Amino acid sequence: MLDEVRTVVSVGMRYSPPAYALDEVNAAQGRGVISAYAHGDDYHDIMKARLEALARELDQLLGRHDQRVYVDTAPVLEHALAEDSGLGWQGKHSLTLNRQLGSWFLLGELFTTADIKEDDKASFHCGTCSACIDICPTRAIVAPFVVDARLCISYLSIEYKGSVPRRLRPLIGNRIYGCDDCQMVCPWNGGLPPPVSDFLSPRGENCLPELASLLLLDDAAFRSRFVKSPVKRIGRERFIRNCCIAAGNNGEQSLLTALWSLAMQDDSAIVREHAVWALGMLSRAENSHAAMQRLSVMQGSETDANVREEISLTIKEIKESI
């Protein structure tokens, strides 16, 4: 990462925990859930600027050295570095935990050629607790400290670009960007006050936003709605895909109109596919015959093979539910 590097300075920047409890997440009818760190400004930009300022201050203290800063911008083993630096230990959910701060903080690193005395490694304080493993909706924490990204809601909703496996969609619930479940049940996160200064400036509109308005966002409206937000980084296609899954799991019949529009007219085959799935979920209880007829008509004009297959599976599942 840097020639002749001698030291890595590991830093943590706190952000506000969710302003709701886990049972409120699962009961948030007609609303989506965005991870707490993304309720405000993009941490990549904020934290990088602060790390660069720290690098300049180190040069003033120690003399000029070569330095590089990272905030999720390279394959840095940030949790292992944080543990070695004494910042916190790696919990069974793989995130870094601190006895005073819990896990509600983001990690960054400053690589430097300066030779700085190292801190003691953090000690482990999870004990026999398995709350994070037990709560995971998709059972992505397959063993202590081992997360299968292919099952993790945070990975699926943020990093993964393709079609979310059908068997996992019902388990995702109404989470549309990331997932905080494993953090919300952690005993070390219980009763923590918000930080005195939250540099990410949380916006109320990103706290349990209404799915009805999100499903209507075109590309320009999406970019405007999430300006300076980390949500903007995943792009409209992935985000609306996530919103379709949440809509299908929500049971809100009022979302049908927006879903039909996406299924029939959206330019993205990924969005159309997940909108069809959501329509199937919402049409099993009401208007099932009308939904099957409409889907059959759609199938005749659909050009994408994956969407056609989704329509076939959805029609079959609606029939079986009648």
72 counts as catalytic: yes
Total-model pTM: 0.94
Written in H, E and C, the secondary structure of the chain is CCCCCCEEEEEEEECCCCCCCHHHHHCCCCECEECHHHCCCCHHHHHHHHHHHHHHHHHHHHCCCCEEEECCCCCCCHHHHHHHHCCCEECCCCCEEECCCECCEEEEEEEECCCCCCCCCCCCCCCCCCHHHHHCCCCCEEECCEECCCCCHHHHHHHCCCCCCCCCHHHHCCEEECCCHHHHCCHHHCCCCCCCCCCCCCCHHHCCCEHHHHCCCCHHHHHHHCCCCHHHHHHHHHHHHHHHHHHHHHCCHHHHHHHHHHHHHCCCHHHHHHHHHHHHHHCCCCCHHHHHHHHHHHHHHCCCHHHHHHHHHHHHHHHHHC
Q: What local confidence, expressed as pLDDT, does residue 166 receive? A: 97
Strand bridging mode 89-90 / 175-177: unpaired
Q: What local confidence, expressed as pLDDT, does residue 322 receive? A: 79
Structure tokens at 238: 């992935």
Q: What local confidence, expressed as pLDDT, does residue 285 receive? A: 67
Q: What local confidence, expressed as pLDDT, does residue 251 receive? A: 87
**For the chain, which ranges sit under pLDDT 50?**
none
CA distance 93 to 134: 10
Going from N- to C-terminal start, the domains of the chain cover 213-322
Q: What local confidence, expressed as pLDDT, does residue 194 receive? A: 82
| Residue found under tokens 């083993």 | 77
Select which of 59, 72, 84, 198 is catalytic. Answer: 72
Q: What local confidence, expressed as pLDDT, does residue 297 receive? A: 94
Q: What local confidence, expressed as pLDDT, does residue 286 receive? A: 73
CA distance 71 to 285: 46
CA distance 105 to 15: 6
Distance of CA 283 to the CA centre of its chain: 28
Which residues is 70 bridged to in the sheet? Answer: 109
